[in-house]
Structure 1
């Protein structure tokens, strides 16, 4: 059994990670650390696992006794953690924050659809951001074929869980319900990692992405609509995307419209591609807490330990 530990165990991504690891056939979850909740039962914070475990939040994090560590604290906390702690020989680390997504300090960027062999050999993996995952999966086949043309335009709608568990004005129910709003237009922090990946695949492309993030009035999921110039027709695009993702167990190209309910509670990304009058539309949908965070982290763990990529991740969508 793979022995796992979690740092920063009180947030939404940690809650999903606890659920996935607790039910993973090859994992023993040894401890979940939370400074603010030490001594409390996990199910008092993550009510979705009530009845599944009587584990308590820990106030220590013995790194010597585990095989893999998941870092789920806020952005900046992962770098601070390693300033205060030494990484034991043989420990593997998966960071869900943005601290090492530039592949600094020996981390490998954890997007399996392009880095599967490198992830399998890595000791340290930086999990991609949620919007970054949805947008990159919408564009990777074009970039790999050198077919990105001109500036890319994306509008992405995300659920309230994407803002984290700590309450704020824009996550309050009475504000968010029946409401939409734009935030961080053209400046979202995930643009850096998206651009780095796409330019690595197609160095000649330098136009960039105009990204408009939107706060949705639903708890979880990301729906991205991406448009760009192309000379390819719908059939050619569909074949290109299907071939590119033929070995990916979670990314699928659909010939019909896609929607959020098809992916919420799963580790899937569903894509649909359409071309008309020299312009392509790519729709990508994911669950921001699973394929956009904890599910992809477990997918990376599976690769790092030589397990089937979909082990412990065969989840049914909440389609009804």
Structure 2
């Protein structure tokens, strides 16, 4: 089986770096170029220092599309649309976009949440990778939407600082973020649109409120979302519903014990824990925002698009301690 030739646009950022780390060791992929205007001509390991000794790749400002089977767009939000308007990507090259630009499925893109759209992803040429909060919250709700059991939803979720990207701002600076927690974009976060789009795909006519409170955490990576809503059945009913829905999805797991973020950091996993409190069902969902919430899921989508086992190159070890 031929290797998948990969080009990465915006390879110097967090998601680009995680893609490089995964794909360098992917047994069925070869990185043919790593594009970065700011770092062109420099070895990749000078920016992504964890890759020292793993690769001799050098960043390029060029765009040799003809060498690639697939390109990943890892630039900032709003930049992917601009990039595709300014650069003609051959029809033979597949595209996986990690920005928000095409998650509403415009421009021929398929929304790339495998637990929702696996078969559509297999046939797609262009895939819009989901957001990190969106992935974490959706995986807590898809089985309920599939069963038509969603009502009003409440979400409280916290994310690590890498979710904001590499660019320095007042709320990503170490002196401010360390030993600190804050709410931002309460009830208005940009990922709400894609969450609602997916839930409506499974539960026709879903129009209930999704009350979302996102928090900035004082740790580098990982997301924990606590999602709760009314549920008439028992805890055992809910666990059966979730275990049945995710039985054929290799990265989403149901825990019967309390969970924490370190169980998923550095992995492509989502772990869910369910609790019943009176009439409320509480679903706790944890992911790594840079992997299942970004680059790991992007590689999972690549595997599906090229007919490979979706777990290929993604058997990653969590940090545990």
TM-score (norm 2): 0.98
Question: How many angstroms apart in 2 are the aligned matches of 1:317 and 1:65?
Answer: 33
Give the C-alpha shift of residue 287 in structure 1. 0.1
Partner residue, 2:16: 14
Structure 1 stretches of 4+ moved >6 Å: none
* Larger displacement relative to structure 2 (167-176 or 302-311): 167-176
* Secondary structure at the counterpart of residue 271 of structure 1: strand
Aligned residues of 1:232 and 1:275 also touching (Cα < 8 A):
no
Shift of 1:234: 0.6
Aligned counterparts of 2:303 and 2:132: Cα–Cα separation in 1: 19
Residues 5 and 30 in structure 1, CA contact (< 8 A), matched pair in contact too: yes
Unaligned runs of 5+ in 1: none
Deviation string for 1:13-63 (max 9, x for gaps)? 100000001110001101110011100111111111111112110010111
Contact 1:233 1:276 in 2 (8 A): no
Tell me the distance in 2 between the aligned counterparts of 1:276 and 1:187.
27
**Structure 2: runs of 5+ lacking an equivalent:** none
Question: In structure 1, what is the equivalent of residue 175 of structure 2?
Answer: 174
Q: Distance in 1 between matches of 2:258 and 2:38?
A: 44
Equivalent residue for 1:263? 264
Question: Are 1:254 and 2:250 counterparts?
Answer: no
Q: Secondary structure at the match of 1:169?
A: coil
1:85 and 2:87 correspond: yes
Counterpart mapping for 1:42-81 below 5 A: 42-81=44-83
- In the alignment, which residue of structure 1 is the partner of 2:31? 29
User: Equivalent residue of 1:32, what SS?
Assistant: strand
Q: How many residues align?
A: 319
What secondary structure sits across from 1:241 in the alignment? Answer: helix
TM-score, length-scaled by structure 1:
0.99
1:302 paired to 2:303:
yes
State yes or no: 1:104 paired with 2:90. Answer: no
Counterpart in the other structure of 2:235: 234
Hey, what does 2:215 align to over in structure 1?
Answer: 214
Query: Which residue matches 1:140?
Result: 142
Offset at 1:269? 0.1
Q: Secondary structure at the match of 1:104?
A: coil
Partner of 2:278: 277
Q: CA deviation at 1:205?
A: 2.3
Does the 8 Å contact 1:220/1:288 carry over to 2? yes
- Map of 1:187-226 to 2, 5 A cutoff? 187-226=188-227
CA distance in 1, matches of 2:71, 2:57: 17
Q: Write the distance in 2 (CA, Å) between the matches of 1:273 and 1:208.
A: 21
| Structure-2 residue corresponding to 1:41 | 43
Indicate the RMSD between aligned Cα atoms, in angstroms.
Answer: 0.7
1:250–1:267 Cα contact (<8 Å) kept: yes
The answer to whether the 8 A contact 1:195-1:208 is kept is no
Q: Which of 117, 126, 129 matches 2:128?
A: 126
Please report how far the alpha carbon of residue 208 of structure 1 lies from its aligned counterpart in structure 2 after TM superposition.
2.2
> Could you tell me whether the CA contact under 8 Å between 1:17 and 1:294 is conserved in 2?
yes
